[in-house]
Amino acid sequence: MSAPNSPSMRTPLARVRNLGASHSGTKDFWRQRLTAVAMTLLIVPVIVIVLMLLGRNQAGAAQILGSMPIAIVLLLFIIASCWHMKIGMQVVIEDYVHSEKVKLASVMANNFFCIAVALASIYAILKLSSGV
């Protein structure tokens, strides 16, 4: 901890709020840990579901995924993993991309990509689970 009279690059408001350079404090840190715990808890049921799907045709897969608990587990896993992926890549981009324009474009591309993956996966599960 620095002495009270030492020069600091942080604004007085940032020091009061205890925010770092990203201006988000530990919010992303805890969200990433939360999604990691969620994925850890969901990985065993997801592996069991994937093993149940092995060797099945589309009708068999639709029958298995037609079960509401299975669809819910897969949806929760997809949401947690896409959110985790978004936060993790954003941290990497913010830490290692130094050009502000490239950083902004990369963060935006990361957000769009993660949303697209999540929506496509959710759509696929809902379509298969509804039997359409």
Instruction: Give pLDDT tens digits along the chain (132 positions).
Output: 555 566 666 667 666 665 555 555 578 889 999 999 999 999 999 999 999 999 999 888 888 988 999 999 999 999 999 999 999 999 999 999 999 999 999 999 999 999 999 999 999 998 888 866
Residue 119, domain CATH: 1.20.1300.10
Examine residue 53 and state whether it is found in any structural domain, yes or no: yes
What's the rounded Cα separation, in Å, for the pair 38 and 81?
9
Residue 59 sits in which domain range? 25-130
Inter-residue contact 83 to 117 (CB < 8 Å): no
Examine residue 3 and state whether it is found in any structural domain, yes or no: no
Number of domains observed in the structure of the chain = 1
The per-residue pLDDT for 28 is 82
What's the rounded Cα separation, in Å, for the pair 14 and 25?
10
Examine residue 50 and state whether it is found in any structural domain, yes or no: yes
CA angle 56, 59, 62 (to 5 degrees): 90
What's the rounded Cα separation, in Å, for the pair 122 and 26?
29
Examine residue 1 and state whether it is found in any structural domain, yes or no: no
The per-residue pLDDT for 35 is 94
Examine residue 20 and state whether it is found in any structural domain, yes or no: no
Examine residue 63 and state whether it is found in any structural domain, yes or no: yes
